[in-house]
Structure 1
Amino acid sequence: MLNRVQILFDPLVRLLLLAILLASFLPVTGEGRAIAQGVSNTVIFLLFLLNGLRLPRAEVLRGLGNRRFLLPLVLWVFAVMGLAGWAMADLAGRALPASIAVGFVFLGLLPSTVQSATAYTSLAGGNVAHSVVAAATLNILGVFISAPLIIWLANSGVADGNVGFDIGALQRIGLILLLPFVIGQILQNWFGSYVAAKAHIISWMDRFAIAIAVYVAFSSAVEQGVWTLIALSEWGILLGIVGVMLAIGFGGSWWLGGALRLELADRKAFLFAGAQKSIVMGAPLATILFPPEMAGLALLPVLLYHLLQMVISAPLASRFRSSQS
């Protein structure tokens, strides 16, 4: 019970709930949407610049050498979970709006979240070094892998969804995600230590950037009538399919870690890196990749998954820890 209360008071969860509430009652529309999108793009640029500054190149390179751990994890996160998301999108498309169904493709292909995967691995007594390197590497690969695969699968006819693959989407990804990350990596030797010293402030900047992206995306969903478009029974279907994705993510990654005969500490790191999905990548990518009228609805499965993965991870990590004592 205490873990669930702590989750509700998690700063990022509170900001996400506030962004959804604000968008529900005061959505940005009309001419204001272009201004809000510009602000969102600016903070996303800053977010990925900071990511580039603080992800140590040496650790990532060391992690790339641990192929027995990293290669199966990459295949699990982007191939197996991606196919699971595609299958769930096909299922969801029979009962839910197409924009929401495509969101399951989006969910399946996202990388894991760096901060919480590492935190829960530490709480569970897992291999924190492996977790940090794996999550960081997955997020770097996600910039290059997630967007093209999302575009390809979403345009493959699933749920009659259409992301609208065009050169403009690739340009936005390059300018808003890739360029600032590369700049951050280049400037890391000069400013990396400063960013590390201001970790608390930087963490809040991250959270506000994500909340702004969610607000802009969800405003479009409210304008499309998300609260009237989806009936109560359909919310139940949406939660049920998200639950299936959670079962695949957590159950499958734990089983695969065992099948690979990883040591227990490595298996725990594999579990949290393989099962969790990143709202840090998801919210900005949704606002860049999807049309405004589609972004908020496509983000719904990710928002629900993110909240529920924390509800699962906290007691699970605590149970792992208590079993060692």
Structure 2
Amino acid sequence: MALPARASAGSRLRRFLFSQEGILLIAIIVLFVAVGAYNQRFLSANNLSTIFLGNAYIAVAAIGMSMVIVSGNIDVSVGSLIGVLATISGTIAVSGWPLWLAWTLPILAGMAISAVSGWLIAYLRVPSIVVTLGMLSILKGGLISVTAGAWINNLPQGYHLAQLRPLGVPMAVWFMIVLTALAAFWMRYSGFGRSIYAVGGNAEAARLAGIDRARTVFIVFVIHGFFAGIAAVLFATQLSVIQSTVPPNLELTVITASVVGGVSILGGTGTVIGSTLAAILIAAIGSSLVFINVSPYWLRAVQGLLILLTVLADLARRRKRARHR
């Protein structure tokens, strides 16, 4: 009687190991073991803290980005949005306002800004790449014009939320783990979460099933703004100063984490667990290049290669499914 259970457990394990999440987890383990064997300092507590704490905000931003891409859209303005929201957070903090406002108002602002983009995309049917390219220019240009890239110093005591360590684990890592788990559960089991997949996979079939595409896309962008706001607060509170600029290539890193994590650039498939694992892998690759004496500038080439390979693999899977129908 126990054989079917063992067979079922074995098949589930095989499915996981050959899934995008399983492949990413194996890649992370192999990378840590290989680079750690080459240079033991790679596995030092300080370096591991840098990998996880310094990049947790990217994984959080990739949660919202994954939802956007699953719905069949994209947001190339996310890096500029995080830069603007981080500046708002720091400005509120040094202005003497309560700290909870410095943590919550950027989240509300992120939702409001993304709602504008979502409304244009969902209800006016402007392509998401056009809307978010325009928003990127508005946010990036506006931030530089207003702040001239000034540094925000003298942040108040208690502001640095990301530096707290409940149970010895950095707060930013707690945010990454908890938000990933909640988002994965919600997308898999809630009615609205499943409607995101339906809209991204086949908008016409979703409409015939009674799903309001415009409403779904609009809400997805608002949720995306929520996660971008949290990511901005984690980014702003991880260091003792904030530079009022857009972090370079941040939007590429967030999009790469989503796509390499298994979210199809064509929409309809993917999980936020994969995007979080991909964010960790990308951060680990960037750190490992330093420890094996390779220029960190190669990370951009690695990111591009990972995107290309992932997209090609996704296209191959889609063609294989189409042949078997």
TM over 0.5: no
Q: TM-score, length-normalised on structure 1?
A: 0.29
Q: Indicate the structure (1 or 2) with the bigger Cα radius of gyration.
A: 2
Q: Which structure has greater helix proportion?
A: 1
Q: TM-score, length-normalised on structure 2?
A: 0.29
